[in-house]
Chains A and B, each alone.
Chain A
């Protein structure tokens, strides 16, 4: 047995490929993990926007519950009549203000009846959690306009919602509860609630609409997620400010880090006399890549904000009560991240510079070019793909970094847009929102964490997509540059 094993091993070694299985297995494992993460995000993040069925159940103790089936699990340490564990289901019932919580657990064996009422409504609102119930009355200026929620009455309701929305958008009418158009909804359990229609974002009858309409609702919700500002303390609505904040911050960082890194690498590789000192500098640069990001955050806070920012405030904005540059902002966050990612750019640029064929360098020098002319027209163009690789790596690292941002200007809510119509149009000193921080904030800080969890997954998915898109565009550009270079090589 042992002998045959050793001989088999010997045979493999003789063939020269002893560990193919291990290497391919490692790769497969990695891909499986990656795929798992992406699948998890896709399922949990994208499923959230689908208008799910509303189920009405009655329990033994006389409660009626109307809501979306959210989650199911076994009751721990319990056995039903047949020995199998008992199960329970979590329902999303909405109406947090009325019910106190918008999720409830119900033991499945306590359910006496279960139905899917066709006229159940899921009403998303500007403020408060969704109302789940049935339409009872629609009122205008206190007078009853339509009773019930079927057919004509539902049409009337939808028309009034439309009117109220137009009025709100037109006049920016502030106090929502003063709106004249209202609707009364009957909630499960008999309670009634009156809602101003100006606050209604969307009304869905999930049990009554077909696949096509559901898809439309899905698309509308997805669009709202991407293109609307957040509502309800970031737990509903969209994430547009965070998305813009992330993109702008990464672009600004790239603008800062690429020139800095390339020029530094040029000096290190082309001008500096190679010796122990340069080797030491190189070592230091590589080590810089391993410094924990929060340390860069500290540096950004201490140097950029408290030294440079306060200095700018003293010179340019004296006498202003509130700090302008002397507090966290987009510019400081971008510069901090630029410092964080500069080693990546330096290392890959240096490699690209070294890869330029010696013959080309010497050829151009022999034709009478100065050193700078040689660098400018021979070395840098051929190193461009390598430089772009550095940029891609820097973007990948910078877009996902959150810790340093928390010290240099990221906010839970930053309502001032970074780009607007007032000069100087780009407001680099303003604080901003960031997808990464948004995930942390919504996941760990929001009071209604059950309802906002899917938002966390959706935001994480978006961050992933954003990094892929930024990288992909840089890669496509690099490929174009490469092709052009190949063309130039006769």
Chain B
């Protein structure tokens, strides 16, 4: 357990160099220690309801955070509603939600709508990292896939340039009985941020095939793949079960393939890593509602980031966590 933490910390520093250009490395070195624990603000009695509307990938994460937060402030009730990332911006604009968890960044059009309605931009907070995994049935012997192959399985436009449409496992290199096994592709419905992210990155903005079976939830995708022998589908790595296997992915044919685990995402070797966000509505110059602020502080505390691991996602590097936390004050 402890070793994992150390490794995470080391990987976090590596990640820093690769990703956060603005941060000063020596400062991060000093602060890489550990995140502070959440401390209840003395004398602050919070009471009321917090609403979260948005991503269903983050549904469980938000619920875990809500459960953890409730152990500090039993009088604060956090309601979680998750029907897809696209439901977050309207809910924030209408004021029906305090938090808009999203598994992708807001689109420019969504930010514009927000700005038109309220006169300022929404505040974007990165909460954790996720690796989007490509799952196959546990009996499937395939060793690795390149993004071109994945693109050719899921997309009809094949923007990544695979020469032919892929419909059987034989076309991906399997032999024997598997060669003629048809591929049965499972995906998410279009309100999902996972759908959008996969389209954006893996399919290079191409269009999905009509034969991709759209599922109402991330674990429905996994269950579909588990039930169907020739199945393939994408979901957050947190949804894996013993009936499916996450295939290592490479960015292009012939390159090394990387498994969807913590280090590979932090090193940016794994091609389908992403941030999971929470958007909040905060007028410029105004302080956040204390309830909202404390909840978000909990998210960025050691407890909050441990919960992330439990939900199957990857905690933020410590310095990113600190940077986001500073946005709250």
Contacts and interface: CB of A to CB of B under 8 A. Distances in A.
| Residue among A77, A175, A412, A447 with max Cβ neighbours from chain B (10 Å) | A447
Given A76-B229, A323-B95, A449-B223, A104 B80 contact: no
B220 A444 contact: yes
A449 B40 contact: no
B126 interface: no
Could you tell me the dominant secondary structure of chain A's interface residues?
loop
B310 A449 contact: no
A38 to B, nearest CB: 23
A447 B177 contact: no
Given A447-B311, A450-B242, A412 B80 contact: yes
Nearest to B91: A327
B109 interface: no
B324 interface: no
A105 interface: yes
B72 A97 contact: no
B83 A406 contact: yes
A414 B79 contact: yes
Contacts of A292: none
A472 to B, nearest CB: 33
A172 interface: yes
A103 B82 CA distance: 27
Interface stretch (B62-70, B149-157, B167-175): B62-70
Nearest to B240: A101
Contact of A444 (B79, B219, B303): B219
Contacts of B267: none
A440 B241 CA distance: 18
| Residue among B139, B216, B240, B310 with max Cβ neighbours from chain A (10 Å) | B310
A445 B79 contact: no
B216 A444 contact: yes
A354 B308 CA distance: 63
A175 B219 contact: no
A104 B63 contact: no
B36 interface: no
Contacts of B38: 175
Given A415-B77, A445-B59, A175 B309 contact: no
A438 to B, nearest CB: 13
Contact of B60 (A231, A414, A447): A447
Nearest to B218: A445
A233 B51 CA distance: 16
Given A97-B310, A322-B51, A411 B79 contact: yes
A413 B177 contact: no
A411 B1 CA distance: 35
A450 B80 CA distance: 22
Given A76-B139, A77-B177, A413 B78 contact: yes
A126 B281 CA distance: 33
Interface in A67-123: 75-77, 90, 96-98, 101, 103-105
Interface in B65-101: 66-67, 70-72, 74, 77-83, 94-96, 98
A479 interface: no
Nearest to A453: B223
Nearest to B139: A76
A174 B51 CA distance: 22
Interface residues of A, number: 46
B58 to A, nearest CB: 11
B243 interface: yes
A85 to B, nearest CB: 13
Contacts of B206: none
A449 B219 contact: yes
Interface in A206-264: 231-234
Interface string B202-219: 000000000000011111
Contact of A413 (B79, B218, B219): B79
B95 A321 contact: yes
Given A412-B80, A413-B78, A445 B56 contact: yes
A447 B95 contact: no
A376 interface: no
B258 interface: no
A431 interface: yes
A446 interface: yes
A416 B49 contact: yes
B60 A445 contact: yes
Contacts of A449: 219, 222-223, 239, 241
A101 B242 contact: yes
B92 to A, nearest CB: 11
Interface of B: 1, 37-38, 40, 49, 51, 56, 59-60, 63-64, 66-67, 70-72, 74, 77-83, 94-96, 98, 138-139, 177, 215-220, 222-223, 229, 236, 238-243, 289, 303, 309-312
- 3 tightest A-B CB contacts, nearest first: A444-B217, A103-B242, A233-B63
12 contacts: A90-B242, A101-B241, A127-B67, A172-B71, A174-B40, A174-B72, A233-B60, A233-B311, A326-B96, A414-B77, A415-B77, A430-B49
Given A412-B59, A447-B312, A449-B222, 8 more contacts: A96-B310, A174-B71, A175-B72, A430-B49, A440-B216, A441-B217, A443-B220, A444-B220
Interface of A: 75-77, 90, 96-98, 101, 103-105, 127-128, 172, 174-176, 193, 231-234, 321-323, 326-327, 406, 411-416, 430-431, 440-441, 443-450
